[in-house]
């Protein structure tokens, strides 16, 4: 994990995320196309599995496209794009 991913990992851990894992699950999106989110965990407040993709200042278009595709193929998961703006964490839930 990079520094930003580790910071978000620590924040989730302190917030009570259960079974928090870094880059542990890979989703098959299409023939030969796969996506491994930065963090996966069980959110007890939502009672569902979650996947967060943490991005810095420069997010690649293909990783965002893969995140959106994963959200549509696996709607039982909660998918989020996570980034930091001026020291504040921002999250965007990706809808199926």
CA distances from 81 to 32, 40, 59 (A): 23, 12, 10
| pLDDT for position 91 | 95
| pLDDT for position 15 | 86
Give the predicted TM-score (pTM) of the model.
0.91
CATH top-level class for 3-94?
Answer: alpha beta
Q: What is the pLDDT of residues 47-68, one digit of tens each?
A: 899 999 999 877 677 889 999 9
Residue 46 or 94, more confident: 94
DSSP 51-67: EEEEE-S---HHHHHHH
């Amino acid at each position: 994990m990079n520094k930003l991913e580790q910071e978000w990992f620590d924040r989730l851990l302190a917030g009570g995320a259960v079974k928090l894992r870094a880059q542990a699950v890979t989703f098959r999106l299409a023939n030969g196309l796969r996506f491994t989110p930065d963090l996966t965990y069980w959110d007890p407040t939502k009672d569902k599995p979650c996947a967060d993709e943490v991005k810095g200042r420069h997010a690649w278009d293909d990783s965002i496209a893969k995140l959106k595709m994963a959200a549509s193929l696996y709607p039982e998961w909660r998918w989020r794009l996570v980034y930091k703006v001026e020291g504040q964490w921002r999250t965007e839930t990706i809808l199926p």
